[in-house]
């Protein structure tokens, strides 16, 4: 009887101990889940409150109508691509004590602003600066870009020339420029396009806007293609600029690229008239034999390989063609001189001479 009671008593002592362990385990699990949820929510909140962009920042004009609630303002900003999460924006406005104090008007914001920065701007009242637009055609040389902007009264010519002569001053914001060889300027890297700028924009603002567009066009796909071809950024843009100046029709650009790639593969001079014109500093309609003898690193009649740098600002089609040459054996081409901008392509030099005779004897 005594032994039986002792045994029963031992079991009673073990049960509470086991129960405590279960309770502690449950509490630990709940605590872990709570911590994971907290940090997960915090991480999600931070991601939703981050700027929409950290590169290629764009100005965005927004109009906030009179009488707009914070809910309505959040919806407008979300539609314009300025915030990620309407609910979190409204929550932040409330926690900062700004709910109901945001002002109507026209604003120039940008997609690199945080929601807090946007809220700060929306307290001041709308201010819309006057803007002006300019267009840089594909194939423009740097001096032509400078002349156009100077003639429009948008830049101080000397200041602009000084800035574009030093790519390193823009490397921190645009790391891709680190691939530009020492001694070269931004020839070829100010992307040809139509731009809208504030009338009081500085020279740096204009250059950065054009560089930002260039980095958008020079996509990862193009960069990967360049790596596959063992081409540097400078080589791609140099070749693209020649293609831009030599080609008129988009469908011919890959074939023109192929001609130059085929020549480069056998160390045959590119013999591009466009590089001679760049070396001469003028675009002569007809080049003389004397012109072809000009002493210049950009003379691709006398020097093999690509020139030291770009000779103009290439457009997207030419940049893509530079890393996507057509699969053709051509090594020569000549303009058909029929007003269409088309060319006749040839494999051998004799075929090329025959093509020239046919075109000139039409």
% of the chain with per-residue pLDDT over 70: 89
Q: How far apart are the first and last CA of the chain?
A: 129
Whether pLDDT at 56 is above 70: yes
Domain ranges for the chain, please list them: 59-121, 131-217, 230-360
Closest CA to 87 of 125, 54, 41, 53: 41
- In the CATH scheme, what architecture does the domain 59-121 have? 2-Layer Sandwich (3.30)
Name, of 20-34, 129-143, 251-265, the range with top average pLDDT.
251-265
pLDDT in tens, 160-191: 999 999 999 999 999 999 999 999 999 999 99
The pTM is what?
0.69
How far is 195 from 155, CA to CA, in rounded Å?
A: 14
How high is the pLDDT of residue 16? Answer: 60
The residue among 14 and 167 whose pLDDT is bigger is 167
Closest CA to 64 of 117, 121, 122: 122
Contact 191, 313 (CB under 8 A): yes
How far is 40 from 46, CA to CA, in rounded Å?
A: 10
Closest CA to 238 of 298, 165, 162: 298
pLDDT class of 286 with cuts at 50, 70, 90: confident
- Specify the range with the lowest mean pLDDT, choosing from 164-168, 220-224, 234-238, 336-340: 336-340
The residue among 359 and 21 whose pLDDT is bigger is 359
How high is the pLDDT of residue 43? Answer: 65
Over residues 243-247, the mean pLDDT reads 96
Whether pLDDT at 128 is above 70: no
How high is the pLDDT of residue 156? Answer: 96
Tokens describing residue 141: 């040389």
Tokens describing residue 300: 């691709």
DSSP one-letter string for 184-209: --STTTS--SEEEEETT--HHHHHHH
Bridge partners for 132 per DSSP: 197
Tokens describing residue 172: 């921190």
Distances (CA, A) of 1 to 88, 89, 203: 71, 74, 103
How high is the pLDDT of residue 238? Answer: 98
pLDDT class of 44 with cuts at 50, 70, 90: low
Whether pLDDT at 23 is above 80: no
């Amino acid at each position: 009887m005594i032994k039986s009671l002792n045994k029963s008593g031992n079991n009673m002592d073990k049960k509470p101990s086991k129960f405590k362990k279960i309770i502690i385990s449950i509490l630990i699990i709940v605590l872990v889940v709570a911590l994971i949820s907290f940090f997960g929510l915090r991480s999600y909140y931070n991601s939703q409150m981050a700027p929409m962009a950290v590169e290629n920042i764009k100005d965005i004009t927004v109009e906030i109508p009179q009488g707009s609630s914070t809910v309505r303002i959040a919806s407008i900003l979300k539609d314009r691509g300025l915030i990620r999460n309407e609910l979190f924006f409204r929550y932040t406005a409330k926690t900062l004590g700004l709910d109901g104090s945001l002002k109507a008007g026209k604003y120039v914001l940008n997609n690199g602003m945080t929601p807090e920065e946007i809220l700060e701007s929306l307290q001041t009242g709308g201010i819309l600066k006057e803007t002006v637009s300019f267009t840089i055609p594909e194939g423009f040389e740097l001096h032509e870009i400078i002349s156009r902007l100077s003639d429009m009264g948008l830049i101080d010519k000397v200041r602009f020339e000084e800035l574009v002569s030093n790519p390193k001053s823009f490397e921190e914001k645009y790391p891709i420029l680190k691939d530009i060889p020492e001694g070269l300027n931004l020839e070829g890297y100010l992307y040809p396009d139509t731009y809208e700028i504030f009338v009081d924009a500085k020279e740096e603002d204009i250059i950065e806007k054009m560089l930002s567009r260039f980095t958008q066009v020079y996509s990862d796909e193009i960069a990967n293609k360049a790596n596959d071809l063992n081409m540097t950024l400078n080589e791609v843009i140099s070749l693209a600029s020649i293609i831009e100046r030599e080609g008129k029709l988009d469908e011919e650009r890959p074939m023109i690229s192929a001609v130059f790639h085929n020549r480069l593969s056998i160390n045959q001079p590119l013999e591009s008239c466009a590089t001679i014109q760049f070396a001469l500093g003028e675009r002569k309609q007809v080049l003389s034999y004397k012109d072809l003898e000009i002493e210049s690193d950009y003379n691709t009649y006398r020097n093999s390989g690509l020139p030291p740098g770009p000779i103009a600002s290439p457009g997207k089609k030419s940049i893509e063609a530079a890393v996507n040459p057509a699969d053709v054996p051509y090594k020569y081409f000549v303009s058909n001189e029929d007003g269409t901008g088309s060319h006749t392509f040839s494999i051998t030099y004799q075929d090329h001479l025959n093509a020239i005779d046919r075109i000139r004897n039409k």
